[in-house]
A and B are shown apart, each in its own frame.
Chain A
Amino acid sequence: MHHVIAPFTARALRAVLYAVVSFPLALLGCVGTLLGLLVGGLLSITTLGLWLIALTERGALSFGALQRFLARVLLGVRLDEPVRRSEPGAFGWRRAILADRTGWRAVAGVLLGPLTALPALLTVLGCYVYGLLFLLHPVLKYVNYGTERRPDGTVEHVALRWFGVNLDPWPLWLVPVVVGAALLLVAPWLLARVLWPQQFVLRKAFGSSDVDSRIRTLERTRAAAVEDAAATLRRIERDLHDGTQARLVGLGMHLTMIRELVTAGADRDEVLTVVDTARGNATQAVADLRDLVRGIHPPVLDQGLDVALASLAADAALPVEVTTSLATRPAPALESIAYFCAAELLANVVKHAHATRVGIDVSTDAGVLRLTVHDDGRGGAVLGAGSGLTGLAARASTVDGTLTCESPAGGPTVVVVVLPLG
């Protein structure tokens, strides 16, 4: 059943629409661009020619935007917008366009357009149109036929004749029906195949170049790294302000109070009460500082990731099993990211997962550091806006790492962080 409706699913029909629309569009773009370049070239002895060529290039870029839009809406293929040069002023605009490879790539794409769009159109014509005609032959033969006059004066209606054989009578009409069905069934598959080279050209001509994409990724991850560092500093500042600093001021207040009490010759017990409070504050300030230092850089991490993770596991509120297989010692930055990911993931498990056991595996192989945190909890963790996992993924991405999360409702949850050893 699934195969039978495959040629007529919304997805397949969108591809058909794309194939039908894109060829005339490509033809129009190609003719326009050719005309622009030709006239611009002829006029290039005057300054007008350059303007016309620049305008044509700009048109090709807009055509690319339209193509990206069509590909996204009808095929679900997302293409990054290319990065364009820009200079101020009208002449700057012309200079930037003429010197920009992006524009020329678009021109090449537009010129090649009809060629790359043709196979898809032919596929639609061949498979869908003829497929339907053949499939419906038993019905259509009564409507759509040619009239042949025989030498003996009789008249015959012939709807379909292949290799001199009339396929109208039973059971011969089964042949076109079977052929039509076969054509329709193969249509979506074939269409997807012939669209592939077209998409390739689309990507190369109108998409973002590999270098641009890489630059964009680096810009994004760098912004994430800066944001992460700023957030860390804000957190440290807040912790110091609300914690240690407040406790030290409080300690000072209590010392002042003790001084006041002693000066006034107050009762011994009254003084001792304030002394105890002050001592409590001092103890808490030291503990706060220790936690804070551990949050910045756990001293135990200096002894290696395995030791740090073991100590993390020992402090956890759940039984945690740590397995490590580190062939080489990763760079300190990677160790730090892996450690904080493990710490945060572990905290998440304790807080949200209702798990009874947690496993942390860390290994180095094939040039990557792989950290896996898995639990037997209730699952349902998602990577998305507002999720702590997103912050960890952003942190991993600063070193070209990735974070993946598999957490079906009901569990178990497996989070994998992969960091290239670089």
Chain B
Amino acid sequence: MRVVIAEDSAILRDGLAQLLAMRGVEVAAAVDNATDLLAAVAAHTPDAAVVDVRLPPDHTDEGIRAAIELRRVHPGLGVLIFSQYVETRHAARLLAGDASGIGYLLKERVMDIGEFVDALERVAAGGTALDPRVVSQLFGASRRGKALDTLTPREREVLALMAEGRTNQSIAATLVVSERAVEKHVANIFVKLGLHQTGADHRRVLAVLRYFEAGTG
């Protein structure tokens, strides 16, 4: 897997590049601003980009804007947002179009490098990887969502894990239930959110999107 990193803190940029290299991830370029990021992606055509939210010059949401631009220009590219904060509005903006190939992780997740690389691979392969904190904050914000109110607490938990980009198998392991039970919950979620059969993976993404719409609406 080949990645490009955009992170303005030299410590984190070098640390992340070294760590990923140790795990056999090829870091094609590590840059410190959005303009260089766009150029580096165009030059190296990586599988995924790891992008800090705050980049020069204003340190506000340059990373998010760059990510949206990247997704527009390179539709197949996985983008993993790498942030010190959960900024729900940013996450929702990024996920507004198509949730596949998007990740949003807090920076400290990198300390579990195994999971971090897994998430990066998932995003590069077109999946999603959302930080549990992003998910829980969106849950908090989504209390107003009408359709989501009809979900049972267990179904919410399953949806939250789906939003993190987990498979049914992984969800079952986390919640300590059988995979069949998870499948049943997932099916209930699809029904309650009004998502009809068009292929399970696509509906998974739609369910997650619904979840975000509620979180922002």
Contacts and interface: CB of A to CB of B under 8 A. Distances in A.
A242 B53 CA distance: 12
A250 B9 CA distance: 10
Instruction: Please indicate which of the listed interface residues A246, A249, A250 has the most CB atoms of chain B within 10 Å of its own CB.
Output: A249
> B interface, how many residues as a size bin?
10 to 19
Nearest to A274: B18
A259 to B, nearest CB: 8
Given A238-B59, A245-B84, A254 B15 contact: yes
A137 interface: no
A260 interface: yes
A255 interface: yes
A247 interface: yes
A260 B22 contact: yes
A383 interface: no
A249 B110 contact: yes
Majority-rule SS of A interface residues: helix
Contacts of A255: 111
A258 to B, nearest CB: 11
Interface residues of A, number: 18
A314 interface: no
Contacts of A252: 108, 110-111
Interface string B10-34: 0110011011001100000000000
Nearest to B113: A256
B80 to A, nearest CB: 15
Contacts of B107: 249
Interface in B100-115: 107-108, 110-113
A253 interface: yes
A271 interface: no
Given A241-B54, A256-B19, A257-B18, A246 B12 contact: yes
A281 interface: yes
Nearest to B11: A250
A242 B22 CA distance: 25
A249 B111 CA distance: 8
Given A238-B59, A246-B11, A253 B16 contact: yes
Given A238-B59, A241-B54, A245-B84, A256 B110 contact: yes
A41 B59 CA distance: 65
Contacts of B12: 246, 249-250, 253
Given A242-B9, A246-B12, A247-B11, A253 B84 contact: no
Given A245-B84, A260-B22, A260-B113, A253 B15 contact: yes
Instruction: Please indicate which of the listed interface residues B11, B12, B110, B112 has the most CB atoms of chain A within 10 Å of its own CB.
Output: B11
A257 B12 CA distance: 12
A249 B108 contact: yes
25 contacts: A241-B54, A241-B84, A245-B84, A246-B84, A249-B108, A249-B110, A249-B111, A250-B11, A250-B15, A252-B110, A252-B111, A253-B15, A253-B16, A253-B19, A253-B110, A255-B111, A256-B19, A256-B110, A256-B111, A256-B113, A257-B15, A257-B18, A257-B19, A260-B19, A281-B11
Interface of B: 9, 11-12, 15-16, 18-19, 22-23, 54, 59, 84, 107-108, 110-113
Interface of A: 238, 241-242, 245-247, 249-250, 252-257, 260-261, 264, 281
Q: Rank and list the top 5 A-B pairs by shortest CB-CB distance, nearest first.
A: A253-B15, A250-B11, A252-B111, A246-B9, A249-B107
Given A250-B11, A254-B15, A256-B111, 5 more contacts: A242-B59, A245-B84, A249-B107, A252-B108, A260-B23
